[in-house]
Structure 1
Amino acid sequence: MKRRERRATAKQGKPDPNVRANNNLAAVHAEVVDKMRAGRFLEAQLRCRQALEATPEDAELLHLMALVYLNAAEFDHAVEWASRAIRKDPKPSYLATLGTALQRSGRLEEASQVLDKAVQLKPDDAALWVSLGGVLEGLKRLSEAALCFQHALKLDPHHLAAAWGSAATLQQLGRLEEALVDCDLCERLQPNDALTATLRSMLLRGLKRFEESLADARRAHSLDPKNPDFCVNVGDALLWLDRVEEGLEWFERALELRPFLLSALESKGRALRRLHRLVEATAVYHQLRAIDPTNARLEFALATHHLWLGNFEAGWREREARWRVPGLPIHFPDGPGALWLGEESIAAKSILIYSDEGLGDAIQFTRYVPLLAAQGARVVLVVQDSLQDLLSTLPGVSLCLPHSSSTLPPVDFRCPATSLPLAFRTMLDTIPPPIRLSAPADRVSAWDERLGPRDRLRVGLVWSGSLTHPNDMNRSIALQSLTPILDVGATFVSLQKDPRPDDQAVLRERPEIIDLTAQLTDFRETAALVSCLDLVITVDTSTAHLAATMGCPTWIMLSRTPDFRWLVDRDDSPWYPAVRLFRQTETREYGSVIERVRAELFVAVGRAGDGAKQS
């Protein structure tokens, strides 16, 4: 009906059919929404179909049907009906429904394209930006997702979902301080929310603000005390404070609420392991695997436990699950060559060994290179850039490349360095000896001259590892704590790269520690310096592996629950004949460890003095 005709009809007092249709549509919409809210989705679908019989091409009704299917979790049908609505009228709201349906059906790439079009059509709609952010987060395009959530907050500073999405995405990006700001905004927008308190607890834990983390975990539990997940979070917060027995009680409480909760069992296993209740811990890990046999994270946790106990056969095999665990700091590039785990002959073949984990791992597993060469393989070794010069001269290495290489050569096979023990079926009694690494003679002479007269025992010191290491708070020591050993009559040489501010202050106050670490530009220089030492005392770092591989006597101070390679309840290492292990008896208590080191160092200094007199 033309505008003039509608105006005439209105003057005559006749009802406008368009107004009547709109009123009917509004009534249908209200009726369908009521049925959806009541969970009566079949009735809602039937009512939509009745309305569509009269107007089968009505975009609003087509979209309403899409919403019914979306709320009924019939996502493929929702996609179909939303697409039909969009063909009639590509409204941003229809695109949003299609994007959500695609997202929930797992078609994330398509969802991102649809929602990107929606925000272009309506760029001032905060909800659309939040929807796009959620899809991008699912695609692990986290930086883009964070930008979407933050843009939504600019459009609507009180948008709770935008604040939550931004906080959660920034957490995954490791931008914890920024995430905490958005989490606090969530708290203001929706006070006393247990999920927000839990997220805040986790963020504070990542920032090493452990007491505050525990307070928020307890607050979340008080808001929802019947939720076992919040019990687990309290327990985890207590573990970070070394209140392991208390943490274990919270995991048991969670399991009372939900007997087979994986997160509670996993944390319980960790707690039992830290308490050295090893039989119970093993039982829990096996229970976890029985409950969820395809869970890679649980398989990897059990593998680590097996290796820690010396059960190498199961440990090496199950440790391959690490490639299916998201977020681990490991890397193994695709191709070239077929994956080799010891099954195929490598005689007259080329094999690429890639350092897939840390610097210490790369050094530890160099011992397998000669075994590969002995089988007739041409070995290409790819290692961290700082290790290339040192490891390029290893026996059996045909080519050594840095990680930064833009291309890798064509090879027949490839193997991650930390899978070599599996490939060689390594057991406790078949661990190959380390290769004796050595530094260039001219570099050794230069360092020997810098250190001055060799009139006392030369002792290298390393007291901390990487600040970003997840176990740093347990394995690193403040230099101030080591000062009791400085009076034993030895020459102390710092091997500590990047000392922390407090440690730098101690170094300035203790001139008896020779600190030339600014000249340690790579591991070859460090190896040259270690060659000039009689002993290295260190925490669990790559320098420990370097010194031990070189055959330098190496004393390693270990946390109560150290890395799996140091095993349990022994003061020697089957990996390194040159190593002595000094273990904590209580968590994070290095005082007794340092006292034992000091006592043994007195003995070593005395022996060195006796040897000098006899010579």
Structure 2
Amino acid sequence: MTSFQPNADSLFAEGLALQKRGRIADAVERYRQALALDPDHFNALHLLGVCNTQTGQLDEAETLLRRAAALLPDNAPVHNNLAVTLRHAGKLDAARVACDQAIALKPDYAEAHGNRANILREQKQFAAALADYDRCIALRPGSAEAQVNRALVLRDLDRPADALASLDRALALKPDCFEAYQERAEILARQGRLEPALAACEGALTLRPTHVPTLMQRAGLLTRLARREAALEAYDAVLAVDPKQAQAHYIRAALLTEANRLEEALADYDRAVALRPDYVEAVINRGTVLMRLGRHEDALANYDALLALRPDCAEAHNNRGIVLKELGRFEEAAASYDLAAGLRPAYPEALLNRGNLYKQRGAFDAALAAYADAIAARPDYAEAYNNRGLTLREMGRLDEAVASYDVAINLDPNYPEAHYNRGIALSAAMRVDEAITCYDQVLTLNPDHAKSRWNRGLSHLLRGNYRQGWADYEARWDNTELKATLPPYRQPRWDGIEPLDGRTILLHTEQGFGDTIQFCRYAALLAAQGARVLLALEPPLTRLLGRVEGVAGVAMRGEVFMLPPFDFFCPLLSLPRLFDTQIDTIPAPQRYLAAEAQAIAGWEQRLGPRRALRVGLAWSGNAQHRNDVNRSIPLAQLTPLALPGVELISLQKEIRFSDAMMLPALPGLRDVRDGMKDFDDTAALVETLDLVISADTAVAHLAAALGKPTWILLPFACDWRWLIDRTDSPWYPTVTLFRQGQEQSWGPVVDRVVAALAAKVAG
């Protein structure tokens, strides 16, 4: 199979065309691909930096633009764009320096003068900013934007008449300049010239009829003009566009209160408070309306109003804590919960909320103490027992977690989340059958609980109950995170029934590299049905998997609009279900991947003459994996593998800092990362080895798919694909599994591996 290999310039050109069409995300992908081929491609660095600025990725944008500037220091636009990025990042002094460099290189650079003026204005150096705006206008007299910005700095200098004159010039240059109308209304309103300000608002709204800030500005002017009915209609117009404008509800309620339309006012205050629970003015006024209506108890329940009036109100402190917690203001939230609990020592809700806060911050012992206090205050508090279980599970105290869930369920048998969480804890304890029972119970209570169906599927797969497992595993697409990764293909998804003879099917990856390597084997089965099989892959896999039996072509995953024509698509991990794969029908050839002979020879030459048993070692995978803390192994624990007669070769493309510190303790471990650009390179290296020893990572799948003897070290709660209590794998004939026991320690595992390795050297 052959495929077109673009170069950096062609990828950059594609990116530029996409950027001009407003397809920023696609442009970014092309620029990144160009830089993967040529890290010093100035134009790709420059425009990727510009794109990242537009999408708010300012740190990366700064890095890219500084690299570009280092390559071509005399390029004024790159310095100017760096200044824009730095300004958005709040690094005003550095932004100004970048602008100065751009202007020094190109003194008549109008845009750079305008950008420097913007920076100077933010630094409150208004006179200097005005001089730069004037220079920008002198260089580009037709710029309405520069006139508007000049007006802003004149306003800051308290020169409203000059600011209005500048805005008039902007409107003369560009009669549809929305910003000029909007700023004119603001300046006139500040001067108390409300009628002309209202006229300017109306002019802005002819250009953008649904612009909420301007609608609010118009409604505010009508309010100041005491045109109550017109103001109410104006706020209605705001809310028709954006029903979540809390301030519009608040001011409308104030107008209704003035008109003594109290029930309507209360309804608007209710909406304002529902939208912004911390909206102090709205809540206080709501309390006032409630009292005017004679609803004194309701007024007292208005927690923020009561808190403003009565600082000793425990409920207000608790509810304030909830709002602050949701806003991420944890210290203040904790203080509010402490105040609530101090004012009312037996206040279970406040104690529960305090426990949740501690748990979220990783202060597990403090969380357990708070839950204990909540339970003491309310012995039948099922939610407290459930949340206590969550904390114990995160601490690895699984038996205690299960016991806590048991109490929650005894208190409330119809509590789906407690049943679900109990199942998760049991799964972590490898009590798989009990976990399945929990998920069954959740789905009885709530048939739409997708996480339970998915986790039940994982449990069945771990058990080897593949038919049920594959069916439940499809619920992964109801998981919000995974669902977002499903490409929006227009073609139908293959159902396993529709004939494929003479038709093209696109298989797309969905999770990790290891999953892709494991399940690409199904391409051969599809090809046997007459299908033309395409694989949509991440770049590190394209070269290697393009040679898999049955694969007719590869494409970059995510490039929905750049794919070749196809008739059907299918997620790669859905194929086992569609082929009704059982333990004894797994398509498991001795090997189904192969490296290129030339690349293998290159590694042989680099590694030199074979002096001992050559063993590849991979000890950690993706640090972002949800189970990384359990499945990755600290390199320090693998030092006993450095046996006489063993030559260790690192298969790690990335080495974590803590592991890098251990490399001196393994002087015989060869680090060849610089030669592993993608999985094709790694595959060629693996082909030169006698054995691979790996944690549960993509490297383990790679070695096994190459038919290389592979020893995989598994955590106690292992991934479903390795089944239970087996030392072999029906997926890979050359794999041997070394499992943790219930002690969940790597020491005994490493001891067994060392013994097996010593025997292999001796034999």
Give the alignment partner of residue 725 of structure 2, picking from 562, 569, 592: 569
> Which letter maps to 2:694?
T
Once the two structures are superposed, residues 188-222 of structure 1 have per-residue CA deviations (whole angstroms, 9 ceiling, x without a partner) of: 234242353244244234xxx65565555556555
* Correspondences of 1:384-423 after superposition (within 5 Å): 384-405=538-559, 407=561, 408-423=563-578
Q: Is the 8 A contact 1:116 1:132 kept in 2?
A: no
> Which letter maps to 1:604?
K
Q: Kindly tell me: are residues 480 and 160 of structure 1, through their superposed partners in 2, closer, same or farther at Cα, counting changes over 3 Å? A: same
Report the 3-state secondary structure (helix = DSSP H, G, I; strand = E; otherwise coil) of the residue aligned with 2:468.
helix
> Which letter maps to 2:405?
F
Q: Which runs of 5+ in 2 are unaligned?
A: 1-227, 254-268, 278-307, 309-315, 342-349
CA distance in 1, matches of 2:564, 2:273: 44
Shift of 1:540: 0.7
Give the alignment partner of residue 301 of structure 1, picking from 452, 455, 461: 455
Give the alignment partner of residue 437 of structure 1, picking from 577, 590, 593: 593
1:46 matched to which residue of 2? none
Q: Is the 8 A contact 2:619 2:652 kept in 1?
A: yes
* Correspondences of 1:88-487 after superposition (within 5 Å): 89-90=231-232, 111-112=243-244, 114=245, 167-168=325-326, 179=328, 182-191=329-338, 192=341, 193-205=350-362, 211=365, 214=368, 218=372, 221=375, 225-328=379-482, 331-405=485-559, 407=561, 408-434=563-589, 436-487=592-643
CA distance in 1, matches of 2:246, 2:699: 50
Once the two structures are superposed, residues 387-442 of structure 1 have per-residue CA deviations (whole angstroms, 9 ceiling, x without a partner) of: 11211222222220122535233321110001010111111111012552122222
Report the 3-state secondary structure (helix = DSSP H, G, I; strand = E; otherwise coil) of the residue aligned with 1:487.
coil
CA distance in 1, matches of 2:234, 2:318: 21
Shift of 1:491: 0.5
2:762 matched to which residue of 1? 606
Shift of 1:319: 1.1
Once the two structures are superposed, residues 437-472 of structure 1 have per-residue CA deviations (whole angstroms, 9 ceiling, x without a partner) of: 122222212222222221211111111222221111
CA distance in 2, matches of 1:534, 1:130: 68
CA distance in 1, matches of 2:624, 2:706: 27
CA distance in 1, matches of 2:596, 2:249: 63
Once the two structures are superposed, residues 501-521 of structure 1 have per-residue CA deviations (whole angstroms, 9 ceiling, x without a partner) of: 221110133211111123322
Q: Kindly tell me: are residues 512 and 382 of structure 1, through their superposed partners in 2, closer, same or farther at Cα, counting changes over 3 Å? A: same
CA distance in 2, matches of 1:297, 1:431: 26
Q: Kindly tell me: are residues 311 and 88 of structure 1, through their superposed partners in 2, closer, same or farther at Cα, counting changes over 3 Å? A: farther
Report the 3-state secondary structure (helix = DSSP H, G, I; strand = E; otherwise coil) of the residue aligned with 1:339.
coil
Shift of 1:223: 5.9
Q: Is the 8 A contact 1:336 1:409 kept in 2?
A: no
Report the 3-state secondary structure (helix = DSSP H, G, I; strand = E; otherwise coil) of the residue aligned with 2:464.
coil
Relative contact order: is structure 1 or structure 2 higher (C-alpha 8 Å, sep ≥ 6)?
1
CA distance in 1, matches of 2:625, 2:272: 35
Shift of 1:569: 1.2
CA distance in 2, matches of 1:129, 1:563: 48
CA distance in 2, matches of 1:411, 1:213: 54
Instruction: Output the TM-score relative to the length of structure 2.
Output: 0.57
Identity %, equivalent residues: 37
Shift of 1:185: 1.8
Report the 3-state secondary structure (helix = DSSP H, G, I; strand = E; otherwise coil) of the residue aligned with 1:597.
helix
Q: Which runs of 5+ in 1 are unaligned?
A: 1-85, 100-108, 135-155, 170-178, 608-615
2:258 matched to which residue of 1? none
CA distance in 2, matches of 1:441, 1:217: 62
CA distance in 1, matches of 2:533, 2:733: 26
1:514 matched to which residue of 2? 670
Q: Kindly tell me: are residues 119 and 567 of structure 1, through their superposed partners in 2, closer, same or farther at Cα, counting changes over 3 Å? A: farther
Instruction: Find out whether 1:585 has 2:741 as its counterpart.
Output: yes
Report the 3-state secondary structure (helix = DSSP H, G, I; strand = E; otherwise coil) of the residue aligned with 2:733.
coil
CA distance in 2, matches of 1:230, 1:200: 13
Q: Kindly tell me: are residues 215 and 451 of structure 1, through their superposed partners in 2, closer, same or farther at Cα, counting changes over 3 Å? A: farther
Shift of 1:329: 7.9
Report the 3-state secondary structure (helix = DSSP H, G, I; strand = E; otherwise coil) of the residue aligned with 2:624.
coil
CA distance in 2, matches of 1:130, 1:508: 61
Shift of 1:493: 1.0
1:489 matched to which residue of 2? 645
Q: Is the 8 A contact 1:133 1:165 kept in 2?
A: no
Aligned residues: 473
Q: Kindly tell me: are residues 328 and 160 of structure 1, through their superposed partners in 2, closer, same or farther at Cα, counting changes over 3 Å? A: farther
Report the 3-state secondary structure (helix = DSSP H, G, I; strand = E; otherwise coil) of the residue aligned with 1:327.
helix
CA distance in 1, matches of 2:331, 2:585: 55
Report the 3-state secondary structure (helix = DSSP H, G, I; strand = E; otherwise coil) of the residue aligned with 1:111.
coil
CA distance in 1, matches of 2:555, 2:231: 57
Q: Kindly tell me: are residues 256 and 93 of structure 1, through their superposed partners in 2, closer, same or farther at Cα, counting changes over 3 Å? A: farther
Q: Is the 8 A contact 2:232 2:252 kept in 1?
A: no
CA distance in 1, matches of 2:334, 2:569: 50
Report the 3-state secondary structure (helix = DSSP H, G, I; strand = E; otherwise coil) of the residue aligned with 1:90.
helix
Q: Kindly tell me: are residues 130 and 460 of structure 1, through their superposed partners in 2, closer, same or farther at Cα, counting changes over 3 Å? A: farther
Query: RMSD across aligned C-alpha pairs, in angstroms?
Result: 3.3
Q: Kindly tell me: are residues 516 and 211 of structure 1, through their superposed partners in 2, closer, same or farther at Cα, counting changes over 3 Å? A: farther
